[in-house]
Structure 1
């Protein structure tokens, strides 16, 4: 993932707060066996200390790839929007000279994967995920050997991803003039399609922190 200086996370707390704010679905990428195409799996995840927790169906083809190459990438993307060229034209130039771009936030984790197959260890992994996704606790106990989850544990495998590197990107034109960025956020809010409002909120948040861009 290419990151311009003005797109970089301002600090670790920025991307950590973004992940914690409901961005808990991403894409696992694993090198394909024998040099084949990468295996890519969309999935929910849970942050656990300095790592990530995932579980997937046992028939998933990703397991063979992980066993062959346990160094993996997990990517989370959100708050994206297409920004038309006229919105980005430099002040004093024709609107048609503006070049369109994409806005988005992305956090990319480089990880070492460990497969979890022990039934009790899988049950504990699921309990931790349920505590995040269903904190109300309105579910049956997740225990090995106890229905309904116990009999289902054989159908899944757990995955612990120990994070070795984090690269975060918040691409919202921070190098553009303050007024232009504020105007783009206004236009995104008015357009209001898809995640436009979320992209506008990210742009305004960065604008408040960065102000005029200084190289």
Structure 2
């Protein structure tokens, strides 16, 4: 992922705050024997304090041989993406049709060392961490070895603990444009009011250069 200086996060708190509100992404794993990377969409729970994310997958998932052979992966999360038409980015002294279209988006990529969790008790603890994140108000029983309702299901999954070893983050929201053009884009996002336009506009104004 190319990150220009004007798209880089201002500090770690910026991407950490953004990621704290998201829990679905794609796990990219090295392919075996020249095969392309394996990409698995999944829910996860990220713990900034521990510097790790936890998740689980079904035991028949074809990703396991690749993960065990190369226990490194990238957890990629992208959101707040919108298409920006070319005329929106045109300079005031040029024809609007000469403007360059682009994409706005926020992205965080966590490079991780992968630990596969097969011990039943550890899997249960991992599942409870996920449940605590995704269902903080409860509503589900806790997972425990040998106990209903989840004990009998533990054998059918494998847990994943992802130790974060590096982070690449990007907030591409017109950072290289002049304040005047940024303001015009913000107005047009408000007028269009499509999916994710409000979130993109908030990022643009928050990171505005002037």
TM-score by length of 2: 0.96
SS in structure 1 opposite 2:123? Answer: helix
Structure-2 residue corresponding to 1:102: 103
Structure-1 residue corresponding to 2:25: 26
Deviations 1:187-213 (A, max 9, x none): 112212221111111111112xxx24x
In the TM superposition, what is the alpha-carbon distance from 1:12 to its structure 2 partner? 0.3
User: Within 2, Cα distance between the matches of 1:56 and 1:84?
Assistant: 39
RMSD: 0.9
In the TM superposition, what is the alpha-carbon distance from 1:63 to its structure 2 partner? 0.8
In the TM superposition, what is the alpha-carbon distance from 1:141 to its structure 2 partner? 2.1
User: Within 2, Cα distance between the matches of 1:128 and 1:23?
Assistant: 15
Structure 2: gaps (5+ residues):
none
User: Within 1, Cα distance between the matches of 2:192 and 2:60?
Assistant: 43
Structure-1 residue corresponding to 2:34: 35
User: Within 1, Cα distance between the matches of 2:3 and 2:22?
Assistant: 20
Structure 1: gaps (5+ residues):
none
Structure 2 residue 150 is matched with structure 1 residue 149: yes
Structure-1 residue corresponding to 2:43: 44
Structure-2 residue corresponding to 1:87: 88
Structure-2 residue corresponding to 1:5: 5
SS in structure 1 opposite 2:175? Answer: coil
TM-score by length of 1: 0.94
SS in structure 1 opposite 2:13? Answer: helix
Moved more, 95-104 or 177-186: 177-186
User: Within 1, Cα distance between the matches of 2:135 and 2:119?
Assistant: 23
What number of residue pairs does the alignment pair up?
208
SS in structure 2 opposite 1:165? Answer: strand
